[in-house]
Structure 1
Amino acid sequence: MEEIVRSIVTILMRGTEYQTFCKCAQCEMDIIALSLNTLPAHYVTTEQGRNSVFERMNSRENLEWINKRIIQSIHVIGKYPHRN
């Protein structure tokens, strides 16, 4: 889940839709952390398990669901940043 969230956050924050949001490392990590806290954890101990979860989470429906959580997190962190 973390790999997927990191990838999507990086893509979204580099895109034109979120140009007005802070792109510093702290805000990006806060967005990732908040997003992961709203999504279910999928712990695995083998590469086969990792691949299985990745394939399951990488479906169109799941990516849309994950995207919604990330977008909510972007707006929350944009409104209440933790940086100095």
Structure 2
Amino acid sequence: MSKKLVNVMEELVETLVTVQMLGTDYQAFCKCEQCRTDIVALSLNTLPSHYVTTEEGRQNAYNKLNNKENLRWINKRITSAIHVVAKYPRHK
């Protein structure tokens, strides 16, 4: 952890977006960096942040968020964001 403040939800969402965009369900969507960043931002705007200042805090927050129910809930928001960005892409 190199930063003083880390949003564990942001780390988790970035990882999950990458995994979802690699999946076969999303072959038709643009995977450029602008669209990927927009998906992450839109997803994070619908999810609570989980800021921590220590590695121990990061691990505790990650363990709390990384369960089946929470991952399903987070992935639903990511899927919604993918559909919005696919419908209204901002890339050139």
Give the TM-score band, short-chain normalised.
over 0.9
Which one of 27, 30, 39 corresponds to residue 35 of structure 2? Answer: 27
Output the CA distance in 2 between the equivalents of 1:10 and 1:74.
Answer: 11
Percent identity between the two aligned chains: 61
Counterpart for residue 38 of structure 1: 46
Runs of 4+ deviating beyond 6 Å:
none
- Where is the strand percentage greater, Structure 1 or Structure 2? 2
What is the Cα deviation at residue 31 of structure 1?
A: 0.2
Which among 79, 82, 85 is matched to residue 77 of structure 1? 85
**Corresponding residue for 1:66?**
74
The answer to whether residue 60 in structure 2 is matched with residue 52 in structure 1 is: yes
Q: CA RMSD in A?
A: 0.6
- Say which SS state the counterpart of residue 17 (structure 1) adopts: helix
CA distance in 1, matches of 2:19, 2:67: 17
The two structures have a TM-score, normalised by structure 1, of: 0.97
CA shift digits 1:30-77 (9 cap, x unpaired): 000100111001111111111100000001100000000000000000
TM normalised by structure 2 equals: 0.89
Which runs of no fewer than 5 residues in structure 1 stay unpaired? none
